[in-house]
Structure 1
Amino acid sequence: MENGKYRWVNDLSLILLIICFWGCSSSEEKKDTDTISKEEKLLLENGDIIYRHGNGIFSGYFVSTSQKEQLYSHAGIISIKGDSIYVIHSEASEFTGIGGVRKETLQTFLKDISTWGVYRLDTTMVVRDSVALVASNYLNKNISFDFDFNSLNDDKIYCTELIALSINKAASRQLIEAKGKLGSKTYFAVDDTYMIPQMKKIISHHSENKQSN
């Protein structure tokens, strides 16, 4: 009788554990996919540029350096492999200062983000594929993050510089120019990279209460 009782308790505990695990997993999955819908994912193409207003310490500052539209603080390049969607971007840790060109899933890039948008270079698919390819080449070279924000070379690269370099090299012309001010430096501000005639908006999500990178 006692053995039967303990077995029933163990079986009940196992059932509760499975229910809890399923519930937690479902909630986490929902949280990861809430930011972008399935319909919006279908709109994405290789080489698209994705922007976000981050929640970090310096996001508000980088937003303020844009001269025309102060909306986003960070950007990356969409890279699609089969059914998987990734974002290639240059980022450094606010705490360790370590970072560089990296690739992560779209869900990770947009985690806890409420203000974001996707823009597309108005050109052929061949050129847009080349944008993603240039970014991938920088990724494969393990290029470090450029804390000097030097726009004159690509030995190190900051986030919007990756966008500008990838687009300019793919298009074989200077579509994006550095006009933003970072102290005494002229650098590629976020709005420099998308507020050009050759870029068109594909998706836009704006939050009334923007938080700061």
Structure 2
Amino acid sequence: MNEKCEFPQLSSLQLKDGDVILRRGNSIFSELIARNFPASEGMSHCGFIFKIDGQYQVIHTISKSLSDIDGIRINTLEKFVLDAKQNRICIIRYHKKLNSDSMKERCLALLKQKIPFDNDFDLNDSSKLYCSELLRYVYQEQGEPDFFEMRKIVGVSVIDFSTFFNTELFIPVYKNY
């Protein structure tokens, strides 16, 4: 992986608080997600980008089965990208301007609450959240309609990653895949 070549491109972008970053992970779980969502352009994980203390950070959530911390966490943008399989990342921006300060405050509050990862993928229970469920939850708290596409997998309705590639909802900012 050549992060020295990759990161100058990212740091030169005009990132905005509330941008969404998508990546392809290295785990078998990421592979299963990518295979079950063929219109997801191979992406399997997502989070919000916010500038915090002068540095771009990503707030996202991961299962303890894949990490030493369960649930919501914060990583530098660089760390988030380094954990991508073969630098496969995409940054997108929601088509409408939202209150990014409010979104950041809410994500930081969820981080402080140590919201666990939703291994049941239950969209009706916000006490636990999986990665795209976190984004859906924050968008809905901003008053946005539930615009996420759903897909049933083994009888459970989950958020379809193809939603992030709907150009009526999200504008591409950066693609590397």
Q: Deviations over 1:116-171 (max 9, x none)?
A: 100001222x523333332222112110001000011211001110111112222x
User: Does the 8 A contact of 1:73 with 1:190 survive in 2?
Assistant: yes
Shift of residue 202, structure 1, vs aligned partner: 0.5
Shift of residue 182, structure 1, vs aligned partner: 2.6
1:52 equivalent in structure 2: 23
Point out the structure with max Rg over C-alpha: 1
Q: TM-score, normalised by structure 2?
A: 0.86
Out of 39, 63, 71, the residue aligned to residue 68 of structure 1 is 39
Q: CA RMSD in A?
A: 2.4
Structure 2 gap segments, 5+ residues each: none
Hey, which bits of structure 1, 4+ residues long, moved more than 4 A? 30-33, 38-41, 95-98
CA distance in 1 between partners of 2:155 and 2:57 (Å): 34
Out of 162, 165, 171, the residue aligned to residue 200 of structure 1 is 171
State the percentage of identical aligned residues.
Answer: 23
Q: Deviations over 1:51-103 (max 9, x none)?
A: 00111121111112225334200001001024311000001233578510000
Give, as a single letter, the amino acid of the residue that structure 2 aligns with 1:121: Y
Structure 1 gap segments, 5+ residues each: 1-29, 207-213
CA distance in 2 between partners of 1:132 and 1:194 (Å): 23
Matched, 1:107 2:78: yes
User: Does the 8 A contact of 1:117 with 1:203 survive in 2?
Assistant: yes
1:180 equivalent in structure 2: 151
Out of 98, 108, 126, the residue aligned to residue 136 of structure 1 is 108
Q: 61-70 or 81-90, which moves further after superposition?
A: 61-70
User: Which structure shows the higher helix fraction?
Assistant: 1
CA distance in 2 between partners of 1:203 and 1:117 (Å): 5
Shift of residue 115, structure 1, vs aligned partner: 1.1
Q: TM-score, normalised by structure 1?
A: 0.73
Paired residues, what number? 175
